[in-house]
A and B are shown apart, each in its own frame.
Chain A
Amino acid sequence: MQLPDVRKRRSLLRGAPAASVGSIAESAETRGRTRSWRPGAGVAGLLFLLPMLVIFGVFSWLPILRALEMSVEKTNLVAPPVFVGLDNFARVLADPVFWVAVKNTAWFALLALIFGYPVPLVLAVLMSEARRFRGLYSVLAYLPVVVPPVVAVLLWKFFYDGSSTGVFNTILGWFGMKPAAWLQSAGTAMPSLVLEATWAAAGGTVIIYLAALQSVPAELYDAADVDGAGLWRKVRYVTLPHLRGILLITLILQIIGTSQLFLEPFLFTGGGPANATTTVLLLIYRYAFQNSIGGDYGSATALSVMLAVFLAAFSWGYFRLTRGWAT
């Protein structure tokens, strides 16, 4: 047993009282450090970190800094960039389409919350009660998630065909309903997008909830049974409180995800009809890459920085507000 000796020496070196090296946690931590390769980590450490430093440096850290820089510059790739202060932000805020895009994105997020948020929860609670085929349920629920999103959107675009022989309109016909316009009308276009997006994403959330549901201690249900609680009361007072933490996280993650909606409006409607499905991300894409007079990179980065700041502030507020509820 040479170990205590080393530990003592290290703690003396650090000037910490030797007596504090008593708790298990502390000793485990110190042990880990003493056994590290730090003496030889110099060159080898750098060599092993090289791929990450290069890739993250060039394709992550620098672009993040560059985004901040570009949002206050006028860049057109030909002339050297000029500092323009907050002009880019002002220009975006003055763009009438910007406010439409914000409204649409919020509308999509809200609809996705109303339709999409409860669905996985109900499915997961029901699935966790299955005594047979539990694996089959999970596989079925997760299948839409593995379908490539582009394929899913193109397939659903066909389903949404507005004629009376369209797939969904045929189904409506079975129930004696008139064919709907789906993607072609400004009123139904966004809900149609939400429907597809919910189909495509719900499976992943179901699996997360299923994992969380398995951690609910059976003893609590036993106790609830003894107290004579019915099915609904057990769900309400045992199951849901146990899922509260994960429910809060999936909620904010869903909001962050839906606020960056791009694929569905881009492929389904191109933002139409009459900008009814233009989202913030679609607008960023248009600013930068669909400009006939060359990319307006300043406006595009300004808008993306605004979105990122908004999301960061929103998440911060959200976690502050819900801090006490999570446990």
Chain B
Amino acid sequence: MGLRRARAPSDAQASSDRGIVSHADWKRPSVRLGLGAAHAALLTLLVIVGLGPILWLAKSAVTPTRDTLRTPLALWPGGIDLDNLATAWNKVHIDHYFFNTVAIAAGSWATQIVVATTAGFALSVLRPRYGPLLTSLVLGTLFVPAVVLLVPLYLTVLDPPLLHTSLINTFWAVWLPAGASAFNVLLIKRFFDNLPREIFEAAQTDGAGPFRLFWSIVLPLSRPIIGVVSVFAVIATWKDFLWPLLVLPNPEVQPLSVRLPTLQKAIELDVFLAALMISTLIPIGLFLLFQRMFLRGVGLGGAVKG
């Protein structure tokens, strides 16, 4: 460390900032040309493959069916039909399924945050004697593939213990199981583990009880991790298909993901593509808004969650 600081600042920066190709190599015309071409190709490929289908969807959402079918890859539509979006929203009642999705996502978010923060707080700060046992029980569920839960969870929702009323066709059937995310609990617990204990002690000395400590100290300090968990919770619910398909058979309460495949058979192609576009807007908007959080969160959680 001392050695690096002794060097000229630009030199030190150059050394830590390099990739596989050295700065000296970058100055050679052949390398510059070759890698430049490679990167131009990479950028073109990423634009076509990553952005292309989404741009195509955006274009086709406002193109009349005839044009989309005859010349699907025409760069400019023969005529623009903005009514598609309005028809999808109002006549096909995409608005209804859209708000169902929002309600399902909001409720799932709430249960996930409540369960993960309270459990994380208890396991990390209050540390009851049986805490480690509970932590390993939570960790253990990470190793059970979701498919094992499918049938018994469905039967649980059909006849939940103590309630004796089926949760099928209610949002609770999605909201409650969403809270059982071991990943969230462990992530938040890890974050709480790293908060400085001195703060808790100071609060304790000032007479703060566990509830005050949780609400006024731990929660405000953990905004970043709650943000990460929130964004992932909303996106995951937005993406979910199989579970809402099983527990929400009534179209009135179905989210977009479950409704779209059925709609395909019932409505015209251009309106259907407009509906697909509308359902993509929120996740893409969230992603572009919270890019940094996403890309960092994936590096963080990807290796655990898969």
Residues of chain A touching chain B, judged by Cβ–Cβ distance below 8 Å, are 31-33, 35-38, 40-42, 44-46, 48-53, 55-56, 58-64, 66-67, 70, 77, 123, 125-131, 133, 135-144, 146-152, 154-156, 158-159, 165-167, 170-171, 199, 203-205, 207-208, 210-211, 218-219, 221-222, 225, 231, 234-235, 238-239, 246, 249-250, 253-254, 256-257, 260, 262-263, 266-267, 281, 284-285, 288-289, 295, 297, 300-301, 304-305, 307-308, 311-312
Contacts and interface: CB of A to CB of B under 8 A. Distances in A.
Given A60-B141, A222-B22, A207 B302 contact: yes
B20 A221 contact: yes
A67 B149 contact: yes
Given A48-B119, A150-B258, 15 more contacts: A40-B209, A46-B128, A52-B118, A56-B137, A70-B151, A142-B298, A155-B276, A165-B69, A170-B73, A221-B22, A222-B15, A231-B21, A295-B151, A307-B147, A308-B148
Contacts of A77: 155, 158
A44 B151 contact: no
B152 A70 contact: yes
A39 to B, nearest CB: 10
A58 B299 contact: no
A221 to B, nearest CB: 6
Contacts of B286: 146
Contacts of B185: 52
B35 A129 contact: yes
B206 interface: no
Interface string B12-44: 000111111110111000000001001100110
Contact of A149 (B20, B119, B239): B239
B225 interface: no
Contacts of B125: 36-37
B119 A32 contact: no
B276 A218 contact: no
A191 to B, nearest CB: 17
A166 B256 CA distance: 25
A33 B43 CA distance: 53
A156 to B, nearest CB: 8
Contacts of A125: 20
A170 B239 contact: no
Nearest to A48: B122
A32 B197 contact: yes
Nearest to B179: A55
B235 interface: yes
A218 B16 contact: yes
A151 B272 CA distance: 11
Contacts of A67: 148-149, 151-152
A67 B151 CA distance: 7
B144 A154 contact: no
Nearest to B17: A218
Contact of B287 (A62, A70, A143, A204): A143
Given A129-B20, A148-B239, A222-B22, A58 B148 contact: no
A209 B241 CA distance: 28
29 contacts: A37-B127, A41-B122, A41-B128, A46-B128, A48-B121, A48-B214, A49-B118, A59-B179, A63-B153, A126-B38, A129-B21, A133-B43, A140-B47, A142-B50, A146-B284, A146-B286, A147-B284, A150-B279, A151-B279, A154-B260, A156-B53, A218-B18, A246-B303, A253-B303, A256-B306, A304-B150, A305-B148, A307-B145, A308-B145
Contacts of B20: 125, 128-129, 221, 231, 234-235, 238-239
**Size bracket, chain B contacts:** 35 or more
B147 A219 contact: no
B268 interface: no
Contacts of A301: 148, 151-152
A288 B148 contact: no
B115 interface: yes
A218 B235 CA distance: 36
Interface string B65-109: 000011111000000000000000000000000000000000000
A45 B287 CA distance: 36
Nearest to B287: A146
Contacts of A246: 303
A150 B261 contact: yes
B191 interface: no
A267 B261 contact: yes
B126 A36 contact: yes
Contacts of A141: 46, 50
B222 interface: no
Nearest to B24: A225
A41 B261 contact: no
A130 B39 CA distance: 7
A272 B145 CA distance: 25
A62 B139 CA distance: 15
B197 A308 contact: no
A143 B72 contact: no
Contacts of B121: 48
Nearest to B185: A52
B130 to A, nearest CB: 9
Contacts of A63: 149, 152-153, 156
B43 A56 contact: no
Contacts of A263: 241-242
Contacts of A312: 143
B160 interface: yes
Contact of A143 (B15, B50, B264): B50
B210 interface: yes
